[in-house]
Each structure stands twice: as C-alpha cells, then as structure tokens.
A and B are shown apart, each in its own frame.
Chain A
C-alpha cells in the first residue's frame, strides 16, 4: 500500500465531508421551509459523521486525533475542494445546485471506493453509500422542482449552475496520488470519476431545464491547500470554541 497516497485521499474525503457538513448546518433555523430545515440539518449530521469516520481511519494510520484534525488545522492544511468552501450567502438555489453536484460526485466516488483494494476504506464506503443515496434523492427532487417551477426559478437555478459548475469540476483536481492509487486498485483516477459524474448529472439537469456550459474550465487549488478566503472565515467560526481551550474535556 502506498501509505502517503492513501492518507492524501482520506484527507480529501474527510475535509470535503466536514466542510460541506458545516455549510449544510448553516441552514439550521433558516431554511425556507421546516422540512428543509430538518433535511439540511440531518444531512449536516450525516456529513459530520462521515468526516469523523474518515478522520478515524487517518488516526489509525498514525495521523492526529479526529478532533485535532477538525479543530486544530489552518485553512492551508485542508484538502477540501473549493466547491464546499463557497459561502451559502442564504442563496437557496446555489446551495441546492451545489449539494446536488457534490452528492452526485460523492455517490460516484463511494461506488468506486466500495471496490477499493484498501479494505478499511471499502467497508466504510459501502456503509456511507447507503446513506448518501438519500441525500441524492433529496437533491435531485429539488433541482428538478425548482428548475421546472417558474421562469424566475429556472433563471436563478441556471445562474447558480453557471457559477457552481467550474468549482464542481474542481472536485476532480488531479493530484500526485492519482497514479499510485489507481495502480494499486485503491481509487480510480480523478478524470475517470469526473467523466462518470458528468454523465450522471447531465440527465437530471436536462430534466430541470438547465444547461451546462460545456466550455466551463475547472477551478483547482483545493486539493493542495489553496482555498477561497471563505474557508478561513468558516474555520474561524467552526473552531472558535475549541480554540478557547484545546485541552478541554467534552
């Protein structure tokens, strides 16, 4: 096993889950309807749980404790993609589109990882995949519902998609781990996952009456620690209590 490549992969998975989980949790108490308030809070709880599981795998490979990884690293140490960092700005269209693009990518990735040669990750992926299906069912229903709603609704969704799509392509930023992971049968190459993802999201977006900009260019940087400023702001808020006394017992 290529240990450093596996660790890199686990950090990407864990950090994506933690940060989208935090973004989802920002809708708690604010979502447009009660059911969605609960849905986003539940999905946040799922994502935090998934992040914890990945951090535990990292800990088993000699990395620090999960709490330390979540609450005691700076933005540049995180390996999450840019898409999850972007602020919600109380924009329901953007958050719905982002969640759909993200969960579709996660579904493709978890399906592949279920067959991973790294057994602890394969076992975990099979478990998380069964939960992720509910997220995707939720997101698909809303993307189509909002896209088909009114002209105003469709335009907002199209604007959100145009903005989110280049960042979504950035989820599949190639890293130095790509080749060793693919050759060891641990995780397929990012470009392969990206093309599976694009085929998975296309029919849903089409059904919603939305158009993908074929010329969109991916926004990279997240996997090597270059993030939008919004991540530092998010971490400041998320880590605030822990940072007051990192040795406190919870």
Chain B
C-alpha cells in the first residue's frame, strides 16, 4: 500500500461495521473501465466508506480530474453497493486526499504489469521526474533499456515507451 494509505482498512479492518466491510467487498467487484483487470479499491480510488443516517457514503478520489470514466465509475459503485443490500448509496467525488499513483496497491501494480502496462514507480512523491520516465522497466522483458516516446498515450493516465531490448513498444501508467 502506498504512502497515502487509506482512512479505513477495507475488508478486514477493526472498527469497521459489517455494513462498511460488506460495502468494501462490493467495491472490489467494480473494475476500472479503462483497465478492467484492476478494481477501484486496488486502484486506490476509494478514499473512504462510511455509514450515514440514511445509508452508505463512498468517497471517490479521481485519478485525473478530466477522467471521462468518473460518471461511469460512480454508477457502477452505486450499483455494486446496492447489490450488496444497501438501498441508499451516495458517491462523493473528493480531492482530499488527492489521488496519486502511490495509492495503487501492491496487487494492483502486479495486475497492471501482467496486463502489459508498466506500473508507476512506487514512490512518486507526487509528481513525475523527466529522468524517471527515461528508464521505465519494460513490462514484457524487464529491461530498463527503454525510451519514452510520448508523454501522452491512449488515455490520460498512460505514456508510451519503447524497449530497445525486446523491441516492443509498451504503455506506462504515469506517476502523478
């Protein structure tokens, strides 16, 4: 787990009510629409889950402010938590804590890599370094003989790289 951590421990934590634990479990079934191998909890997009007077409140911290998938993710979260037995589910988009790539869990990073997408380096300290983008380990062969081809890829969160060793291009999840 990244530095930012979570305000609540998801499914096994102490202090969480059975309803909150059940909601966290439901959230693990919500896939990231752009990278469907990873769910929104592994992605670190869930900032908090809590009970309110009426039902369950989920705080969602978006990866990129302009992410076009936010509305879809909100809808999917509401559906999943409702399916888990809650009738009143509110999803709040929050920027505190801000999402950073450090919030992606270890399992999440492994899944990104298995998907062929080079995960962000673990300690981004909140931003990219030009030099760090020049030696991104290739997700196919592991070589660091790689070059950054373009800072912008098929989605806002990805850059494009080329591996000199296995001569394949690959995408990298940007550090933010």
Contacts and interface: CB of A to CB of B under 8 A. Distances in A.
A50 B149 CA distance: 26
Interface in B117-176: 126-128, 130, 149-154, 156, 160, 174, 176
A124 B99 CA distance: 11
B33 to A, nearest CB: 15
A43 B98 contact: no
Interface stretch (B7-15, B35-43, B64-72, B84-92): B64-72
B64 A49 contact: yes
Contact of B149 (A35, A46, A137): A35
B96 interface: yes
A63 to B, nearest CB: 18
Given A133-B128, A137-B130, A43 B65 contact: no
A112 interface: no
Given A42-B156, A45-B156, A133-B127, A127 B150 contact: no
A137 B159 CA distance: 13
Nearest to A37: B152
Contacts of A130: 98, 100, 126-127, 176
A45 B151 contact: no
Contacts of B127: 129-130, 133
A138 B151 contact: yes
A39 B160 CA distance: 11
B151 A127 contact: no
A48 interface: yes
A40 to B, nearest CB: 8
A137 B176 CA distance: 13
Interface string B48-79: 00000000000000001111100000000000
A53 B62 CA distance: 11
A47 interface: yes
A215 B130 CA distance: 33
Interface string A118-152: 00000110111111011001100000000000000
B146 to A, nearest CB: 16
A130 to B, nearest CB: 4
A111 B160 CA distance: 27
Contact of A127 (B98, B128, B152): B98
17 contacts: A35-B152, A38-B150, A39-B152, A46-B66, A47-B66, A48-B66, A52-B65, A53-B65, A53-B95, A127-B95, A127-B98, A130-B176, A131-B64, A131-B66, A131-B156, A134-B174, A138-B152
Report, nearest first, the 5 A-B pairs whose CB atoms are least far apart.
Answer: A49-B66, A42-B152, A39-B152, A35-B150, A49-B65
